[in-house]
Amino acid sequence: MSVGRMSLPIPLRMLPGEDIHEFKAKAMEILAETGVFYETPEALEALEAYGCTVDHQQRVALFPAEAIEKALATAPKAITLYDREGNPHAFLEGNNVYFDPGSSAVHFLNSDGLAVDSSGEDLANIARLTDALENIALQSTAVVAGEVAKEVGDSYRLYTVLKNSTKPIISGAFTVNGIEDIKELLVAVRGSLEELRAKPLAVMDVCPFSPLRWTNVACKNIMDLARYGIPVEFLPMPMAGASTPVTLAGTVICHVAENLSGLTLAQAVTPGAPVVWGGGPMVFDMRYGTTPMCAMEAMLMATTAAQVGKVLGLPTHTHGCLSDSKVVDVQAGLESAMGALLAGMTGVNVISGPGMLDFVGTQSLEKLVIDNEICGMVLRYLKGIETGEDAMAVDVIKGIGPGGDFLNTAHTRRWFRKEVAIPGLPIDRQDRRAWYEAGSMKALVRANRHVQQILSSHKPRPLDRGVERALDNTMKQVARRHGVTYLPLR
């Protein structure tokens, strides 16, 4: 059963339709006249065969409008993700909204506030915690396992999450061979490549190098994913004022061009390859040389770029519910809440970020459970107000009359559970006396207790023993193939 989903009837629109179409037109102008750099010769050959003009010496492809429109016509307009057991879980289409933890952090914030290098054990705990959080529907490979050899880092992160949760996963690869290894793990769970194509279990992020450049790793990953039918999520991360124009509109145009160029390569390799229109634009803070992803300007660019993807009818992604703060504090709360709400109101299908701090560099369990509450509030808001006859309650109001109360009515008993969402432990709604008597706990303390409660009691549904053996053996084979002898199996 799908969890943590809500569909907004009328999503937020940053710009009128004609302006959104102008972003696409300007991006296509750049793709036709300036083009995009692809480091991999095979990618250029695929694009040339698809109708693009290629300068093989400069490794630049120029895109005629016909090639882009052909690619947009064959790209699927919806993707259904299935859980580990093969049940439908998330429907990436329309204005459906799902959250997943921010991914690939290199640091983990301990409960004492000290950030340390992240490990496989941290990743396993994040996966088990997320498995229990009802408002975060999807998993991610949230941190890198620093103790594991880089050659198998991509596959080990996915393996760890597959072992510790049933939810579909947002992941990715940092190596040329990473997708091949990841595909083998996913096939071990599904049983065959055909079944994996029919029931996608994971979406893979692939990032261009802004502006307008796809590295060899990115090219290979896109092509492998398209061949295997594994959904690919394009993740431009332009920096306004550094890697792209400082104007927000100029950066959005680069963002759109990079999405279109990735999408066209995927469709050139395999027409109908599932793709997600994604990205995480940033501003460039000239004072410190940092890249805030939750600045309001970044959210303006993210939601506008997502609106372009929605107008094209594609499944969409962006970052939200994350913070650039270094600890779980007031800044973390306000930035996460604003980003989550704006992305949710835009109707972005996949919103990545819960748990994340410090420019997507640090994950926190306490922040993750607080963000689960933020996501729940956003999902409740998107549910809107029900307006049927019973919900409007005119007869009930007439029956109670002036000065009465509604506490003991059958109408209240019938409606209060579905009208008023009840938050979890991190949110305090007691009166002050009760709060004193309960120990005067602040939000971060309550969040830590909630984390400990879940990790001590929640057990994800176990893997079928045969599937678990296949998964373990596949991970060992991947390690042997790369000459890796140490591999903690969790």
Give residue 1's pLDDT: 43
Non-local CB neighbours of 329 within 8 Å, separated by 6+ positions: none
- Beta-carbon count within 10 A of 404 CB: 11
Structure confidence at residue 76 (pLDDT) = 98
Output the six-digit token pair for 422: 């009840």
- pLDDT tens by residue, 158-173: 999 999 999 999 999 9
Mean pLDDT taken over the chain = 95
Confidence at 8, pLDDT banded by 50, 70, 90: low
Span of 101-110, 355-364, 380-389 with lowest mean pLDDT: 380-389
Angle at 206 between CA 485 and CA 175, to 5 degrees: 25
User: Is a pLDDT exceeding 50 seen at residue 86?
Assistant: yes
pLDDT tier at 18, thresholds 50, 70, 90: confident
**Mean pLDDT along residues 317-321:** 97
Asked if 327 and 356 count as a contact pair (C-beta separation under 8 A), the reply is no
**Cα(419)–Cα(407) distance, rounded to whole angstroms?**
14
Backbone torsions φ then ψ of 102, nearest 5 degrees: -60, 155
Whether the predicted pLDDT of 121 surpasses 70: yes
Rg (CA), the chain: 23
Question: In the prediction, which pLDDT does 464 show?
Answer: 96
3-state percent helix, strand, coil for the chain, nearest multiple of 5:
45, 15, 40
Return d(Cα 20, Cα 25) in angstroms, integer: 9
Q: Does 348 have pLDDT greater than 50?
A: yes
pLDDT of 433 reads 97
**pLDDT tens-digit readout, 418-434:** 899 999 999 999 999 99
DSSP 8-state secondary structure symbol assigned to residue 224: H
pLDDT tens column, 188-206: 999 999 999 999 999 999 9
Average pLDDT over residues 303-331: 97
pLDDT at 490 > cutoff 70: no
pLDDT higher than 60, residue 2: no
> Per-residue DSSP letters for 161-200?
HHHH--S-EEEE-SSTTHHHHHHHHHHHHHSSHHHHHHS-
pLDDT attached to residue 11 = 79
Q: Which of 176, 186, 178 is nearest to 153 (CA)?
A: 178
Helices (H), 165-295: 178-190, 193-198, 216-228, 248-269
Q: Can you give the pTM of this predicted structure?
A: 0.95
Is pLDDT of 386 > 60?
yes
| pLDDT over 60 at 4, yes or no | no
pLDDT at 3 over 70: no
